Structure 1
Amino acid sequence: MEKAAKIYVAGHRGMVGSAICRKLEAEGYQNLITRTSSELDLRNQQAVLDFFKEEKPEYVFLAAAKVGGIQANNIYRADFLFDNLMIEANIIHAAYLHQVTKLQFLGSSCIYPKMAPQPLKEDYLLTGALEPTNEPYAIAKITGIKLCESYRDQYGCNFISVMPTNLYGYNDNYDLNNSHVLPALIRKFHEAKVNHEPTVTVWGTGSPKREFLFADDLAEACVFLMEHYNGRELINIGTGEDVTIKELALLVKEVVGFDGELVFDTSKPDGTPRKLMDVSKLHALGYKHTTELKEGVSLAYADFKEKHVLA
Structure 2
Amino acid sequence: MDRTSKIFLAGHRGLAGSAILRRLQSEGFKNIVVRTSVELDLRDYSKVLSFFQEEQFEYVFLAAAKVGGIVANNDYPADFIRDNLLIQTNVIDSSYRTGVKKLLFLGSTCIYPKLAPQPMKEEYLLTGELEATNEPYAIAKIAGVKMCQSYNRQYGTKFISVMPTNLYGPNDNYDLQHSHVLPALIRKFHEAKSNGAEFVEIWGTGTPRREFLHSDDLADACVYLMNTYEDNEIVNIGVGEDISIRELADKIKEVVGYEGRIQYDTSKPDGTPRKLVDVTRLTRLGWKASITLEEGLTATYQWFLNNELQLRKVVTI
Please classify the TM superposition score into its range, dividing by the shorter chain length.
Answer: over 0.9
Q: Which residue of 2 aligns with 1:178?
A: 178
1:120 CA drift (Å): 0.3
Q: Which residue of 2 aligns with 1:24?
A: 24
Which structure 2 residues correspond to residues 31-46 of structure 1 after superposition, within 5 A?
A: 31-46=31-46
1:27 CA drift (Å): 1.0
Which structure 2 residues correspond to residues 140-179 of structure 1 after superposition, within 5 A?
A: 140-179=140-179
1:210 CA drift (Å): 0.1
> What is the distance in 2 between the residues matched to 1:193 and 1:2?
47
Q: Which residue of 2 aligns with 1:58?
A: 58
> What is the distance in 2 between the residues matched to 1:67 and 1:302?
23
Which structure 2 residues correspond to residues 66-85 of structure 1 after superposition, within 5 A?
A: 66-85=66-85
Pair 1:86 & 2:78 matched = no
> What is the distance in 2 between the residues matched to 1:308 and 1:109?
29
> What is the distance in 2 between the residues matched to 1:71 and 1:108?
18
1:262 CA drift (Å): 0.4
> What is the distance in 2 between the residues matched to 1:210 and 1:231?
28
SS of the residue corresponding to residue 92 of structure 1 reads helix
> What is the distance in 2 between the residues matched to 1:276 and 1:294?
18
> What is the distance in 2 between the residues matched to 1:255 and 1:52?
44
> Given residue 142 of structure 1, which amino acid in structure 2 is its aligned partner?
I
1:30 CA drift (Å): 1.0
Pair 1:13 & 2:13 matched = yes
Pair 1:281 & 2:281 matched = yes
> Given residue 286 of structure 1, which amino acid in structure 2 is its aligned partner?
G
SS of the residue corresponding to residue 9 of structure 2 reads strand
Q: Which residue of 1 aligns with 2:136?
A: 136
Q: Which residue of 1 aligns with 2:300?
A: 300
Q: Which residue of 2 aligns with 1:120?
A: 120
Which structure 2 residues correspond to residues 206-245 of structure 1 after superposition, within 5 A?
A: 206-245=206-245
1:54 CA drift (Å): 1.0
> What is the distance in 1 between the residues matched to 2:280 and 2:4?
32
1:172 CA drift (Å): 0.5
SS of the residue corresponding to residue 19 of structure 1 reads helix
Q: Which residue of 1 aligns with 2:256?
A: 256
> Given residue 55 of structure 1, which amino acid in structure 2 is its aligned partner?
E
> What is the distance in 1 between the residues matched to 2:56 and 2:6?
8
SS of the residue corresponding to residue 160 of structure 1 reads strand
Q: Which residue of 2 aligns with 1:191?
A: 191
Q: Which residue of 2 aligns with 1:109?
A: 109
Deviation string, structure 1 residues 171-218 (Cα, Å, up to 9, x no partner): 110001110000000000000000000000011000000000000000
> Given residue 304 of structure 2, which amino acid in structure 1 is its aligned partner?
F
1:93 CA drift (Å): 0.2
1:79 CA drift (Å): 0.1
SS of the residue corresponding to residue 90 of structure 1 reads helix
SS of the residue corresponding to residue 103 of structure 2 reads strand
Matched length? 311
Deviation string, structure 1 residues 126-170 (Cα, Å, up to 9, x no partner): 000000000000000000000000000000000000000000000
> What is the distance in 2 between the residues matched to 1:292 and 1:40?
36
SS of the residue corresponding to residue 129 of structure 2 reads coil
Give the TM-score normalised by the residue count of structure 1. 0.99
Deviation string, structure 1 residues 217-247 (Cα, Å, up to 9, x no partner): 0000000000010010000000000000000
> What is the distance in 2 between the residues matched to 1:269 and 1:297?
25
1:28 CA drift (Å): 1.2
1:308 CA drift (Å): 1.9
> What is the distance in 2 between the residues matched to 1:47 and 1:267?
46
List alignment gaps of at least 5 residues for structure 1.
none
Q: CA RMSD in A?
A: 0.9
> What is the distance in 2 between the residues matched to 1:25 and 1:39?
22
Of residues 79-88 and 301-310 in structure 1, the stretch that sits farther from structure 2 once superposed is: 301-310
> What is the distance in 2 between the residues matched to 1:144 and 1:155?
16
> What is the distance in 2 between the residues matched to 1:171 and 1:308?
11
Question: Which runs of 4 or more aligned residues in structure 1 lie more than 4 Å from their structure 2 counterparts after TM superposition?
Answer: none
